[in-house]
Each structure stands twice: as structure tokens, then as C-alpha cells.
Amino acid sequence: MWRLSPPGGERLEQAHQLDLHVGGAESNVAAGLARLGKRVAWWSRLPDSALGRHVAQAVRAHGVDISGVAWGAGRLGTYYAEFAPAPRPTQVIYDRADSAASRMQPGDFDWEPLKTAGWLHLTGITPALSASCLATVRHAIQVARNANIPISFDLNYRAKLWTPEQASLILDELAAGCSLVIAARRDVETLFHIAGEPEAAMRRLHERWKQATVVLTDSANGTGAYDGDRTYHAPAFAVPHPIRIGAGDAFDAGLLYALMESKSLAEALRYGNAVAALKLTMPGDIVLVTHQEVETFLSNQSSTLIR
């Protein structure tokens, strides 16, 4: 999508110009992984127009393979973000009805490359867009499961796209088909009415989702995980003046990169938290860091002047 936002903390109703960024949950993760050094392909459906080509070029610029993108009719989804310091909340307005992406369907893609991929990452945003998007996500999970490919799924519940009642049934089904599920603690409480201690919540979700490894994020309280044997926790890194959009996707990119590098789940949580913290210092939707920069941060050298 395009993200349009007024500069300098202005309100949308007073803005005379808007800053433009390209972003979307899955594309943010893809770009983050590519910048960390992984070979990544991103599949979506874009309008065959200058706007669609702008998005494709922006994603490709980060090193992501976009050859599998489907092109067709429809509009480009956009959203407007009004950033504000506390106590005024940041507000988001979506304008994505009848977008080209919402029209995607299983027949838009050649599924053979997925059968030899090393990993599949999905989110709960795409299945919320339309019945055909849901069918596409279901098909992707089935193809990957048949090929024994690890599947990660970030619930990414968006209240402006569907109700908790609508979302809980579908997200439950999809999560149960994946090997790793990432969920915000607030979403787990909203969708499944599971509250209380994080460890108990993760154990319940692990059983609920057919033994999937569960990663629970809780903003400044850090992240936890349960893999069926052990529980892990990694504290968040403090960021004085955070720029919040995209931090969850940055965490996903860092977590998945570390797991693909055969790091332990405990190490992967810490790595994901580090990438998320670095993203909180950056405008735009995509985390612009290298693996070496993350390692430097983790080595407590981030305050050093590098020249």
C-alpha cells in the first residue's frame, strides 16, 4: 500500500502536503529479511498502473524478488497515518476497499516455486480483505504443508478490517495449520479471551493451535515463546521516542532471520527485539538495517561513534 502522512505532527485536516511511504505487513517482513541477507520473494496482486509499479519498484529496491507478483485491475490500497506525540494517539485511516490486492485468488500464482522454498510467512491481514484472499492463504498453507515447509503466521488483528467474532474463527483455523504463530498479547485477549500470565496463555495457545510454537509479543514488556518443551522470555530494548508503525513487522523479520540462521528460540527472540528497537528509531514502514548493525547493537556498541 501507499502510506500518506502529514509531516511534523500535523493533523490530516490541516495538512497541505503528505509524505509518501510504501508498506504492508508481508512486504515489510520481506524487505527486512532481504536487507538482513536472506533471499526473499514476495507475492501479491498489484494494479497494472503507475501506482502499482511504484510499489513493486520500492519493494524490489530492498532486494526482494517480485517476479511472482500478479498484475490486474483494481486500485492501490492506501492508508493515512496521523502521527502524534503523547498524549495524542497516532491514528490510521484505511482506504483499501476493492483494491487490486483484495481480488487475489489462488489461480493468480504459480505455486511450484513455493514447493522448494525454505520458509513461508503469512499474516492475518490478507485473509481479512476478501473471500478470495482467504482462499489464497488457505491454498498457500496447504501447498507448504504438503512440502514440509515451515510456516510462520502473524495474527496481526486489525479491528478496522473485521470484528473479533469474524476474525477469531478464521485466525484459529489458519494458525492451527502453521508451525510458528506470532501474536500480540492484546490480540489474544480480544480474539480468544485468553488473559493472565503469559506462560499459561502460550501453553493454552500451543494446544489450541495443534502444537505450533507460540510467540507472544507485549510491547515494552518484551516477548515470550513456548515450543512445547520450554518457555522463553526476552526483554524489550528501551527506545525514548519511538516511531511505532512497522515495529511488529521488523520483529518478525529479525525473529525469522535468526531462526533461519539456526539460532535458538531464545536467541531469536532477542534478535527480533533488537531489530524492532532499531525500527522504532526510523520513519517509514520498513526496517533499514543490516545483520552487522543488529549485531553491533546487541553487543552494546550502539552509542559508539562509527566513522
Q: How far apart are CA 268 and CA 160, in angstroms?
A: 31
Q: Is 249 a catalytic residue?
A: yes
Do the strands 223-226 and 213-217 form a parallel or antiparallel pair, or are they unpaired?
Answer: antiparallel
CB 20 within 8 A of CB 3: yes
Q: How far apart are CA 64 and CA 42, in angstroms?
A: 7
* Catalytic site residue from 154, 187, 249, 252: 249
Question: Environment class of residue 127 by beta-carbon count within 10 Å: exposed (0-12), middle (13-18) or buried (19+)?
Answer: buried
| Type of residue numbered 102 | S
Question: Environment class of residue 16 by beta-carbon count within 10 Å: exposed (0-12), middle (13-18) or buried (19+)?
Answer: exposed
Q: How far apart are CA 35 and CA 50, in angstroms?
A: 25
Cell of 222: 518484551
Lookup result for grid cell 496482486: 45
Cα-based distances in Å from 266 to 60, 67, 225: 31, 34, 8
| Region of 306 on the Ramachandran plot (φ > 0 left; ψ -120 to 50 alpha; else beta) | beta
**Biggest distance spanned by C-alpha atoms of the chain:** 55
Lookup result for grid cell 478470495: 132
Q: Which of 218, 220, 225 is nearest to 237 (CA)?
A: 220
Catalytic residue ranges: 249
